[in-house]
Amino acid sequence: MSAHNEEAPILIEDGLMEGGSPDGESPNRGSIVLEAGPDAAGQRLDQWLAGKLGPDMSRSRVQMLIRQGAVKVGGRPVNETKRKMAAGDCVSVDMPQPEPAEPQGEEIPLDVLYEDNELIVINKPPGLVVHPGAGNWTGTLVNALIHHCGDSLSGIGGVRRPGIVHRLDKETSGVMVVAKTDRAHKSLSEAFADHGLTGDLKRAYLALVWGIPMRPTGTVDEPLGRAADRVRRAVVPEGRDDARHAVTHFSVIERFGEQQKEFATASLVECRLETGRTHQIRVHMAHIGHPVVGDPDYGQAFRTKANRLPEPLKGRVKAFPRQALHARLLEFRHPTTHLTMRFEAPVARDMEELVDGFRKL
């Protein structure tokens, strides 16, 4: 029993859809409604839904749809992938539009620090995703680069990541270099893979962190792997299968509130990477008890620290929408001239205003 047209949702009773949609096509757009039969009782929502949506809909994509609020049970959005099913549950799924075959150029402003025929160096603003991916197929740095550079990026480093040799988190600002030729891509990729251990690559970040480290300088040498939720990263035992060597060197640049006991303290810290793991600085600083201010993933336990600040700083910290992390410096050897190039980017205005607020403690 099904109805399928442009205006009406697809209604599928449990057991009528095995291995694909009713019309034999992969479900990729519109709204789908499924009614759970007796056999669904006790199953996890993500497992059951992945089985009903066919082989072209992976379980990880189903989980992403659930977390994005695209799945409703009984008309109410759910975001718990492990939710247990019950017989008779009515599950609706708002399917996304089909993904484009290749990223398209978009006229997005770029803060270009340097550009030649081989590469381009930009100051990435916070909030800009680097390359297209789940939930972010447009509006990325790659879309902006394709528009800015034209055909010169075509085929370099893969369709989804043309020219990209390293990345910054969406909410992290700062210096990035992008290759415009295969030669530059190979040279820069090797430098970043080596993390500068045998070359001329240097990277430095500024992080506003909670508290004041006991020592002015230090090194965090702890392997990173997937956290229990399989989305975030965490410090893990060295022998674990997914453990990856990770080393962060830090030095305290400024201390805020050190001479008083009434308010929470903070520090401006420079972090230099010896390795380049996902979320490395954020995880390492949280691990030693000094998470990045505003970090929604690794600083949740410190959110109440803002209550121990005076106004207007208290309100500013609570309203700050991201982690206070900035890629300040990038130094590398040019792939063709072999000259050492050094680029620095000023801290984004919102983070600079936040730091200024702490300076008044």
Q: Is 169 a catalytic residue?
A: yes
Main-chain dihedrals φ then ψ at residue 17, nearest 5 degrees: -125, 105
Burial of 117 (0-12, 13-18, 19+ CB in 10 A): exposed
Buried b (16+ CB within 10 A) or exposed e, 127-157: ebbbbbeeeebeebbbbbbbebbeebbeebb
Are 45 and 58 within 8 A, CB to CB? no
**Nearest-angstrom CA–CA distance, 39 and 337:** 66
∠176-297-189 over CA atoms, to 5°?
A: 25
**Nearest-angstrom CA–CA distance, 333 and 45:** 51
Main-chain dihedrals φ then ψ at residue 287, nearest 5 degrees: -65, -35
Residues 6+ apart with CB under 8 A from 64: 134, 135
H or E segment and range at residue 356:
helix 349-359
Q: Which of 46, 169, 295, 297 is catalytic?
A: 169
What is the DSSP annotation of 22-53?
A: TTSS---SEEEEEE--GGGTT-BHHHHHHHHS
Residues forming the active site: 169
